[in-house]
Structure 1
């Protein structure tokens, strides 16, 4: 079990060196023209307005925006069940309970220093420890307090592998809920007023506001210094508000997140994280070395117009340097194809090594901080994004050795599927015929209700025949993202009159992200994307040759590789699950599907999906889809992203239970 370590309260005056630094800064400022600087947070180029309270006149609040949505979304479309009570024993209560156990499990190891507890005398951190709060209590799970941000600084240390998996799953589920709410909120707003009508729908603000009201934001009970449990270096976020939801950064616009001096035990502010997104002209970013400009003195056009002062976030950065406290660095930059036109990526921990007052490019005085990245951390996520971008355009120039094929699909897919191996001499994926779509037996197309399709010549609406088959709603929003998983999805097909661009033909359009099959020392063959994949986005089909169970038994005797669709975990139920937000939410049960009684042979013909590895906490899910026939017993296996998947991060699926005959997991590779 790891520990949450409270910082010691030094309760000291600033050191002589710090005082000298401050005096030197003041003297430097005195040589410049005398103006009255602004006292304001450091703002960065921001693609979202401040949330909740800046709604347009007459605009619905985030709460009403969701509550007014169609009842069919929250309950079974066939039947409207009675409301269920909210789940009180949710994972977030457990999260806070374990946090308290972390605090107390290592209390006996702490040495006394005045009226505070100290784990490491070199940590030099500040804030008091409430000894009453540190008493161990196993009897009652603490009730979640109102969403007021704590002023207590702690550092999480010594997490075991099990702890890391637990907190990673907590963050993963929180982000999944956020994305589900965001996609649904945008869909409902566009449906209400029409696509392209009025201001852009702000589902990011709605999702964060609703989750805050439901007390579903993470890490609000303590202000964490250093790494956030469950957040990995390289994690990508499309919206600033999502950083607040997981506790990675605490301000929707300010570039410096810090504990104000008014909340600190000795009255000194402490910085915990910064966002670097090019908002200040004097910033210099070399990756591992960062020259960061303080806040204040800018006009509405982000131009420096006044001198900065050593106060607020500026003073917090200087105090963090003085006490040797690390800060989290998040980089934000424009990214083509992003749902918000911008991405934020967590790049790890940095130490502030120097601070000085200087004349900026605009001629006004600014504070500058030199940050160095702490060694021994994984590669920066921003560097991986840049590397993946170069791979998409010139793979052989970037990696001249290791590529076995630049397209194992032989141009059958919309985009190339690369094959990379710089570990050994295994060429196995080259020996199979590439299969774009699943091959069904002829009888599949003759059974079931064929010939029935919609007549939406100009495009489908929510009232067309195919929407009715889906329970009265389409499964995708207007951007092609999955609104919520279902037992099966009916897409428009060959019997429909709608055009190929119809919003209800998402998965049948084929591969859109550039995927790479690669050799890994840990998982054998695996799959990763060169593109950033959005949560809820379609990835590819899991293709093979369909066999009846009688045929499967014969094939399995020869040791052929078979996949059993009925053994995939029903992860589709997790995507779009709003049960923590709405007490009357019901997991979709319509359209229903019978137990799947077939297998898929991938021993000779397969596609890229067959190389995706197994994981109990996957980032990809299987969604059953029908479009070229209506036989419910033989759906297509379509893969969708459960979370935002950064470039070059391995894709994973939960293949489910073990094989009944061999006792092994049914994974073809």
Structure 2
């Protein structure tokens, strides 16, 4: 059973569990946060009436720093109003009026609303304020881990699918109205704002010190606001997230997390050791223009060092292929072990903190990203010690190689099967299916075309090929359509685009991981095999051959794009109605990479039924899509349905 420990801090007994003090709500005062580069930097100062240069006396800044540090190290009593700190956060070029929540420290945009344009309805919940109660979560059992992971996964799924939905609606609006020049907030900001209005942000009822339950080291986020949604870092742009002194039980501000993304020229990042520059003193061009002082987030970092409190570290950096141009990676817990004042590169005094990564944690996600990048370019050089069984087990049948890696034993079983790119259906499937024409969209499908109507009036994918909403069945453009191969309604039929690796594991047997970062909603591959009718399957099973029964797969497609917590009138897609999948797939001789995916009750991959080369509803293709952002080298998993038959992994893969 998970244990939530309240933290009440005393100078003589760091990390002493106790009951936190009462919440104290006060008026918001201005205190400049450490501003990190946003996903899409503003072109103008978000608040032209307020300069972001911290004021200080240049002659006595060293004296001030040493005096305050000594005061807190020796006689700490009561609450110092002088250092009562709050944080004002900025949004990229957006109006701030009326959006400030004194306790939330996470200000997001309030968008316009209708069903299609994400507008608030009468079901909007009361705004959820951030708690001042500090807790540390310990003693997580297997069931606890699974529960919290599922909560985080579903929250991120709502965010990702809502963002894709919002962006897709904006794209359609621009196409349908070429004169629409009304500026709108980005989809990531609007999605976070709506989720906050609905009370869907996590960890708002308590301030979690240390690891966030359900968030793993190495988890990747494409947008800064998504980190706020899951409760990793509560402020959208400030680099230091902390509990301010007015809310602390003993008057001390406490830092809980930082974002390292190159916002300050004096930062130094060596991975396990970080020299982190405090906030303050920067102008609107992110140049150091004044001295820093021991206040706000700087004081919170110093107090966390004093009490020995761990700090979560999220790294942000540019990444090619990311929808925001950046990625944010959770790299684990660090301890602040030292702080000092020195003259920075620009000639102004800056406060520095040395953070050291706590031992016995999983490998840093940022390190894995760099390793995977090298592996994609020079696999044999990176793994000079060997282990590769084959550099392309698809034998060039896929667009990109499928690697086979085993550095554990001499098992080469995946090489004994013929690689099958797409499923083989009985010939009658192509004759008995419903006949139908194709679209006439020469340059690509448009809204209202024949294929759009076949899908119930809207396409399943956005312009980037991401799944907007899971459906019982998706009709992609087929051979009779005039649209080109790059039509946005031809996604899964175009095959694998990511570099996958089938690998041997001591824990799970065979598994699959990607060398690429896979975005949520992206197509992964088809689950292939030789399709058999019920009568044929009965004969094959008598011979002990390995069969897959598609009707046993979990209906995870219904979770992707489920916006029932956003829209009060949301209805789960039910068109077209699909008959029960009364067939089996033989994978005993012919298979592909999908057959080696592990089973999980919290999978990161879903099965979506798709038709494109025929229109027999009873025999669809089994297409796999990502349910979340999947980092490189993380194992892919699927819900095979019935746990009594699919234990851990499918028998064919062990």
Calculate the TM-score normalised by the size of structure 2.
Answer: 0.84
Asked if the contact 1:151–1:223 (Cα under 8 Å) also holds between the matched residues in 2, the reply is: yes
- The answer to whether the aligner puts 1:171 opposite 2:155 as a matched pair is no
Q: Which residue among 300, 303, 308 is the counterpart of 1:316?
A: 300
Which range moves more in the overlay, 198-207 or 217-226? 198-207
| Residue correspondence of structure 1 range 328-347 to structure 2 within 5 A | 328-347=312-331
Mapped to 2, the partners of 1:529 and 1:311 lie a distance apart of: 44
| Residue correspondence of structure 1 range 433-452 to structure 2 within 5 A | 433-452=418-437
Mapped to 1, the partners of 2:175 and 2:600 lie a distance apart of: 40
Q: Could you say which residue in structure 2 is the equivalent of 1:31? A: none
> What SS does the corresponding residue of 2:112 show, helix, strand or coil?
helix
Q: Which residue among 245, 259, 262 is the counterpart of 2:246?
A: 262
Asked if the contact 1:52–1:205 (Cα under 8 Å) also holds between the matched residues in 2, the reply is: no
Asked if the contact 1:11–1:265 (Cα under 8 Å) also holds between the matched residues in 2, the reply is: no
Per-residue CA deviations over 1:602-622 (Å, capped at 9, x if unaligned) read 111111111111111110000
| Residue correspondence of structure 1 range 170-569 to structure 2 within 5 A | 170-194=151-175, 202-400=186-384, 401-569=386-554
Mapped to 2, the partners of 1:69 and 1:206 lie a distance apart of: 10
Mapped to 2, the partners of 1:534 and 1:432 lie a distance apart of: 30
Q: How many residues align?
A: 575
> What SS does the corresponding residue of 1:184 show, helix, strand or coil?
helix
| Superposed displacement of residue 563, structure 1 | 0.8
Asked if the contact 1:563–1:666 (Cα under 8 Å) also holds between the matched residues in 2, the reply is: no
Q: Could you say which residue in structure 2 is the equivalent of 1:160? A: 141
Mapped to 2, the partners of 1:620 and 1:6 lie a distance apart of: 37
Mapped to 2, the partners of 1:289 and 1:56 lie a distance apart of: 37
Mapped to 2, the partners of 1:225 and 1:194 lie a distance apart of: 46
| Superposed displacement of residue 449, structure 1 | 2.1
> What SS does the corresponding residue of 1:151 show, helix, strand or coil?
coil
Mapped to 2, the partners of 1:371 and 1:52 lie a distance apart of: 30
Q: Could you say which residue in structure 2 is the equivalent of 1:46? A: 38
Mapped to 1, the partners of 2:419 and 2:239 lie a distance apart of: 48
Q: Which residue among 622, 636, 642 is the counterpart of 1:637?
A: 622
Per-residue CA deviations over 1:403-457 (Å, capped at 9, x if unaligned) read 1011101111111100000111100011111111111111111112234111111
> What SS does the corresponding residue of 1:668 show, helix, strand or coil?
helix
Mapped to 2, the partners of 1:345 and 1:416 lie a distance apart of: 27
Mapped to 1, the partners of 2:158 and 2:91 lie a distance apart of: 18
| Superposed displacement of residue 201, structure 1 | 6.1
Per-residue CA deviations over 1:527-546 (Å, capped at 9, x if unaligned) read 00000101111000111111
Mapped to 2, the partners of 1:365 and 1:451 lie a distance apart of: 73
Calculate the TM-score normalised by the size of structure 1.
Answer: 0.82
| Superposed displacement of residue 70, structure 1 | 11
| Superposed displacement of residue 458, structure 1 | 2.0
Q: Could you say which residue in structure 1 is the equivalent of 2:50? A: none
Q: Could you say which residue in structure 1 is the equivalent of 2:112? A: 64
Mapped to 2, the partners of 1:9 and 1:459 lie a distance apart of: 62
Per-residue CA deviations over 1:555-596 (Å, capped at 9, x if unaligned) read 111111111111111100000001111121111110111111
- The answer to whether the aligner puts 1:626 opposite 2:611 as a matched pair is yes
Which range moves more in the overlay, 618-627 or 435-444? 435-444
Q: 1:556 to 1:527 in 2, by over 3 A?
A: same
Mapped to 2, the partners of 1:51 and 1:655 lie a distance apart of: 43
Q: Could you say which residue in structure 2 is the equivalent of 1:4? A: 4
Q: 1:416 to 1:13 in 2, by over 3 A?
A: closer
Q: Which residue among 605, 608, 616 is the counterpart of 2:593?
A: 608
Mapped to 1, the partners of 2:515 and 2:460 lie a distance apart of: 26
Q: 1:659 to 1:323 in 2, by over 3 A?
A: closer
Mapped to 2, the partners of 1:68 and 1:557 lie a distance apart of: 52
Asked if the contact 1:357–1:368 (Cα under 8 Å) also holds between the matched residues in 2, the reply is: yes
Superposition CA RMSD, Å? 2.6
> What SS does the corresponding residue of 1:366 show, helix, strand or coil?
strand
Mapped to 2, the partners of 1:379 and 1:666 lie a distance apart of: 28
Mapped to 2, the partners of 1:203 and 1:346 lie a distance apart of: 22
Q: Could you say which residue in structure 2 is the equivalent of 1:100? A: none
Q: 1:604 to 1:301 in 2, by over 3 A?
A: same
| Superposed displacement of residue 13, structure 1 | 13
Per-residue CA deviations over 1:326-380 (Å, capped at 9, x if unaligned) read 1000000011111111000000000011000011111111011111001111111
Q: 1:478 to 1:663 in 2, by over 3 A?
A: closer
> What SS does the corresponding residue of 1:430 show, helix, strand or coil?
helix
Q: Which runs of 5+ in 2 are unaligned?
A: 15-29, 43-89, 98-108
Mapped to 1, the partners of 2:648 and 2:284 lie a distance apart of: 62
Asked if the contact 1:2–1:163 (Cα under 8 Å) also holds between the matched residues in 2, the reply is: yes
Asked if the contact 1:657–1:665 (Cα under 8 Å) also holds between the matched residues in 2, the reply is: no
